[in-house]
Structure 1
Amino acid sequence: MPEGKILKALSGFYYVISGSEIVQCRGRGVFRKNKITPLVGDEVVFQAENEFEGYILEVKERKNELVRPPIANVDQALLVFSAVEPSFSTALLNRFLVLVEYNNIQPLIVITKMDLTNDKEKLQINKYADEYRTIGYEVLLTSSETEAGLEELYPHLDGRISVFAGQSGVGKSSLLNALKPDLDLKTDIISSHLGRGKHTTRHVELIKVANGLVADTPGFSSLEFTEIEQEDLNYCFPEFELASENCKFRGCLHLAEPKCAVKSEVENGTIPEYRYSDYKDFIQEIRDRKPRY
């Protein structure tokens, strides 16, 4: 049986690339019975009724999967955040980073619209970029308008499935258009009344960019920690995980415990205060989460 990868899912059809051919497939009823939904990025076995149509028979084991956006087998997440319009948000970036870390996906922070910053804003963005780099994250400063920083981005895409994710209006589609001009993805300006962009991307689709596959995904205004437990959160903050080796108590949550190495590093400025503040907020959010039965 032929095998391939789902590039797009739309209106009950799955578009599977196998070799150089793209076959439009439907899912077998057994998937619904077993509560399996094929996802973009899935490696599948299919049966072709003819050159262009077929049925998916099997979804191979996934190395990871995301719910929002619905995609599987992601190698890296490009977390796209604008320097301005909308303003750069460390709280939202930290939320994205936690979800990406939890799903064992390599993050790459891409800050867009650097051409729109004034000197004060540029200084602040560079400070944030240096702090995230110190943690161990790669950070690229870019502009889709001037194409600054785009050359640095291409090598990160080679041979990988990458998901573009970020708040609405930060310029994900503009960035993809700049990387691959023939895409001509729809973009919308920021609503001055709402202060955020419209959701211009309606479905998940893998697009060939450079020598890799990129998913342009719907923008998000909120993300919930539906699966993460408070004990997991330490491992989603790499600098906390490293520091916690020196905590007095094993399983330290870095809240009220004595001789906590994480709190010590926050106090001496090694860990940024905003990272710790968001960590505490996320712990509380997880504790306040309604139990599932």
Structure 2
Amino acid sequence: MPKGLIVKSLSGFYYVQDRDLYIQCRGRGLFRKQNRKPLVGDHVEYEAENKTDGYIMELLDRKNELIRPPIANVDQALLVFSALEPDFSPHLLDRFLVHIEASNIEPVIIISKMDLLNNEQLAVIETYVKDYEQIGYRVRVTSNAEGSDIQWLLPDLNDRISVVAGQSGVGKSSLLNALKPNLDIETDQISTHLGRGKHTTRHVELLSIGSGLVADTPGFSSVEFTAIEAEDLALYFPEMKEQIPNCKFRGCLHTSEPGCAVKAELEQGRIKAYRYKHYLLFLEEINQRKRRY
């Protein structure tokens, strides 16, 4: 049975790439009964009499999957956040980072619209860039100014499946258009009334850029902690994770326990206060979720 990769999902159809062939497929009804849904990025077995009349017969094993955006087998996530319009949000960035870390996907932080900043604003963003680089994240900064060249980003994409995610209106589609102009992905301006971007990407699709595949995804502005447990949360903050073995008590949640190595690092300034604040907010959100259940 031939095998391929789902590169696009739209209106109930799955578009499967098998070398130079692109076959329009439907999923088997059995998948619905099994509560399984094909995702962009899935490796599949399919049957097809022609290019527009195929069926996905089997979903092969996934190494990971994301719910929002719905995609599987991702190698890395390009988390695009604007420096301005909308304002850079370390709180929202940390929410994304936790979910990406929990899915064992390598993140790359991209801060767009750097050309819009004045000197004071630039200094603030540069401090955040330094903070995240010290944690160990790859951070890239880009400009939306006409003529800006971001081809230097291509080596980050080669031979990988990457997902582009982030808040609406931060320049995700503009970034992809700059990398490969003939994509001609629809873009739109930030909504001044709502203070956030309009949704211009309405489906998930893997696009060939360089020697890699990049998913353009619908923008969204919230990520819920539905599958992360309180005792695991610190594992997804790398600077906290490395201190966990040094805590006095197993199962330390790094809030008020004595002998907490994370709190000691915080007091020494080696864990940033805003990152720890976000950890506490996420922890409370997870605990509230448990209480609701």
TM-score, length of structure 1 as denominator length: 0.97
* 8 A contact 1:199–1:219 mirrored in 2: yes
1:28 Cα offset (Å): 1.3
Aligned with 2:191: secondary structure? coil
User: Residue deviations 1:91-145, cap 9 Å, x none?
Assistant: 0000000000011110000000011111111111111011001001000011133
Query: Deviation at 1:146?
Result: 4.6
> Could you say which residue in structure 2 is the equivalent of 1:13?
13
Aligned residue-pair number:
293
Runs of 4 or more, structure 1, over 6 Å off, are none
**Contact residue 78 and residue 162 of structure 1 kept, 8 A:** yes
What's 2:170 paired with? 170
Q: Which residue of 2 aligns with 1:194?
A: 194
CA distance 1:197–1:51, change in 2 (3 Å): closer
Please list every run of 5 or more consecutive structure 1 residues that lacks an aligned counterpart in the other structure.
Answer: none
Q: Contact 1:140/1:152 (CA < 8 Å) preserved in 2?
A: no
Alignment root-mean-square deviation, CA: 1.3
Amino acid at match of 2:27: G
Separation in structure 2 between the aligned mates of residue 5 and residue 16 of structure 1, nearest angstrom: 5
Where does 1:217-256 land on structure 2 (aligned, <5 Å)? 217-256=217-256
Tell me which residue corresponds to 1:263.
263
User: How far off is 1:223 after superposition?
Assistant: 1.0
Aligned to 1:71: 71
| Aligned amino acid, residue 29 of structure 2 | G
Deviation at 1:51, TM superposition (A): 4.0
Alignment pair present for 1:47 and 2:47? yes
Measured in 2, the distance between the counterparts of 1:20 and 1:116 equals: 42
Contact 1:147 1:178 in 2 (8 A): no
The aligned counterpart of 2:144 is: 144
Shifted more, 83-92 versus 244-253: the winner is: 244-253
**Distance between the aligned counterparts of 2:147 and 2:279, measured in 1?**
34
Q: Deviations over 1:140-161 (max 9, x none)?
A: 0111335657233111100111
**Structure 1 contact 140–149 (Cα < 8 Å) conserved:** no
Q: In the aligned structure 1, how far is the partner of 2:214 from the partner of 2:158? A: 10
Q: Distance in 2 between matches of 1:235 and 1:163?
A: 22
Letter of the structure 2 residue corresponding to residue 224 of structure 1: E
Letter of the 1:59 partner, please give it. Answer: L
CA contact (8 A) 1:141 1:149 kept: no
User: How many Å separate the matches in 2 of 1:267 and 1:105?
Assistant: 30
TM-fit CA distance, 1:53: 2.6
Alpha-carbon distance change, 29 to 276 in structure 1, aligned in 2, over 3 angstroms: same
Assess if the C-alpha contact under 8 Å between 1:157 and 1:212 holds in 2. yes
User: Which amino acid is 1:67 matched to?
Assistant: I
- The answer on whether the counterparts of 1:82 and 1:113 sit within 8 Å (CA) in structure 2 is yes
Letter in 1 for 2:142: T
* Equivalent in the alignment of 2:82: 82
CA distance in 1, matches of 2:74, 2:102: 13
Cα distance change of structure 1 residues 232 and 94 upon mapping to structure 2, 3 Å threshold:
same
Kept in 1: contact 2:149–2:178 (CA 8 A): no
**What is the identity percentage for the equivalent residue pairs of Structure 1 and Structure 2?**
62
The alpha carbon displacement at 1:38 in A equals 0.4
Query: Residues 269-290 of structure 1, C-alpha deviation per residue, up to 9 Å, x if partnerless?
Result: 1111000000000000000015
Aligned mates of 1:155, 1:28 — CA distance in 2: 38
Letter in 2 for 1:242: E
- Quote the Cα distance in structure 2 between the aligned partners of 1:148 and 1:232: 41
CA deviation after TM superposition for structure 1 residue 245, in Å: 2.0
Q: State the match for 1:59 in structure 2.
A: 59
Deviation (angstroms), 1:234? 1.0
C-alpha distance in structure 1 between counterparts of 2:73 and 2:147, whole Å: 29
Q: What stretches of structure 2 of length at least 5 have no aligned partner? A: none
Q: Which residue of 2 aligns with 1:128?
A: 128
